[in-house]
């Protein structure tokens, strides 16, 4: 059996070594396709693959159609919006993610970016501190929970909104549950976005929410660019010169925003949230172990296309 690891943005070398060990110990062969630049390379590589491990790599119907032996796709990470679930399900392929494995890495980046914004992008002028400021966490999943944990160390006042998470779970983490999204944005100086990109959430954060943020508001997006209504964001930044937007990865209108709002926006050039050796090792090993468990025993605990 052949397990293909296809990563346009490669894992750290130590993570690849660990993945190789798990796959080879199971008696399977590991194939690596790293830093590929063309979808045709992925299409060629999946031709004889029984399993596919990816990160944000796009696995669409064409890729799935080119992989007749494929039984399982594991997204080494949380968000699986890059995988065509319908096409995979129709082809009888199990799709899994590895929830929680890279969440601390993303949460730490939230604070790296929040501090940078609070310190005026390190431009030498007097900024502000996070201590005693309000933080609103938009979705209390694995990343949101790590953000809450770290925020306490900063001495922030933390609230969270998550319609899929019971209020008691949020309270148990010492966080104030919020039920109205309008309150989450209008009552918190820093808002950190952790919702997945789904048909329901795409473009859901726009002018009204962003422009309602308190004076000096900082919006941190380490989720997906697609959840932002980019024109609404632009208008909000234009109307509210005190608001800043920092994001782990560039919006489509990045060049325009950088030009119009210099010093108030920052975008990572490549998605950086999970780009740590630790996150790569955690997510990579989990993906390899889940792949082996599925191929050997049909175990599909983290299946997302039931």
Nearer to ligand 3PG (CB atom), residue 207 or residue 302: 302
Considering the complex, what minimum distance in angstroms separates the CB of residue 281 from ligand 3PG? 13
Q: Closest approach of Cβ 224 to ligand 3PG, in Å? A: 7
Rounded to a whole number of angstroms, the minimum distance from the CB of residue 302 to ligand 3PG is 13
- Sheet with strand 2-7: strands edge to edge: 29-34, 2-7, 51-54, 72-75, 94-97
Computed from CA positions of residues 197, 200, 202, 207, in that sequence, does the dihedral angle turn out positive or negative?
negative
Give 121 or 137: the residue with its C-beta nearer to ligand 3PG: 137
Q: Which is nearer to ligand 3PG, 79 or 217 (CB)?
A: 79
Shortest spacing between CB 274 and ligand 3PG, in angstroms: 4
Distance CA 194, CA 248 (A): 11
State the nearest-atom distance from the C-beta of 72 to ligand 3PG, in Å: 18
Q: Which is nearer to ligand 3PG, 23 or 249 (CB)?
A: 249
- For 111-141, b where at least 16 C-beta lie within 10 A, e where not — what string? bebbbbbbbebeeeeeeeebeebbbbbbbbb
List b or e across 30-63, with b for residues whose CB sees 16 or more CB atoms inside 10 angstroms.
Answer: bebbeebeeeeebeebbeebbbbbbbbbebeeeb
DSSP one-letter string for 203-270: T-B-HHHHHTSPTT-EEEE-S-GGGB-HHHHHHHHHH-TT-EEEESS--TTHHHHHHHTTTTEEE-SS
The CB-of-273 to ligand 3PG minimum distance in angstroms stands at 5
Q: Smaller CB distance to ligand 3PG: residue 124 or 199?
A: 199
Closest CB to ligand 3PG: residue number? 77
Mention every residue, 6+ apart, whose C-beta is less than 8 A from residue 125. none
Q: Which is nearer to ligand 3PG, 8 or 236 (CB)?
A: 8
Structure tokens at 250: 């560039």
The residue among 108 and 236 lying less far from ligand 3PG, judged by its C-beta, is 108
Residues binding ligand 3PG (CB under 6 A): 9, 55-56, 77-79, 102, 271, 273-275
The CB-of-9 to ligand 3PG minimum distance in angstroms stands at 6
């Amino acid at each position: 059996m052949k397990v293909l690891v296809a990563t346009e943005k490669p894992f750290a070398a130590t993570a690849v070594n660990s993945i190789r060990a798990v796959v080879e110990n199971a008696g399977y062969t590991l194939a690596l396709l790293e830093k590929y630049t063309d979808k045709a390379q992925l299409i060629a590589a999946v031709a004889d693959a029984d399993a596919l491990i990816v990160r944000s790599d796009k696995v669409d119907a064409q890729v799935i159609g080119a992989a007749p032996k494929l039984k399982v796709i594991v997204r080494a990470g949380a968000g699986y919006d890059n995988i065509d679930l319908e096409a995979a399900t129709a082809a009888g392929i199990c799709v899994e993610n590895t929830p929680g494995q890279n969440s601390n890495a993303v949460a730490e980046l939230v604070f790296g970016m929040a501090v940078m914004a609070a310190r005026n992008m390190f431009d030498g002028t007097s900024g502000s501190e996070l201590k005693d400021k309000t933080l609103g966490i938009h979705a209390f999943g694995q990343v949101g929970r790590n953000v809450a944990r770290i925020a306490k160390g900063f001495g922030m006042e933390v609230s969270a909104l998550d319609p899929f998470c019971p209020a008691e779970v949020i309270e148990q983490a010492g966080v104030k549950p919020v039920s109205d999204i309008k309150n989450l944005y209008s009552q918190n100086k820093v808002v950190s976005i952790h919702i997945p990109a789904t048909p329901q959430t795409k473009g859901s954060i726009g002018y009204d929410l962003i422009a309602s943020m308190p004076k000096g508001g900082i919006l941190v997006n380490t989720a997906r660019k697609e959840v932002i209504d980019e024109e609404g964001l632009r208008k909000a930044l234009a109307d509210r010169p005190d608001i800043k937007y920092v994001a782990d990865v560039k919006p489509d209108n990045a060049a325009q925003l950088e030009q119009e709002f210099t010093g108030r926006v920052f975008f990572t050039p490549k998605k950086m949230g999970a780009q740590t050796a630790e996150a790569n090792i955690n997510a990579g090993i989990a993906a390899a172990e889940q792949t082996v468990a599925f191929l050997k025993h049909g175990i599909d605990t983290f299946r997302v296309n039931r």
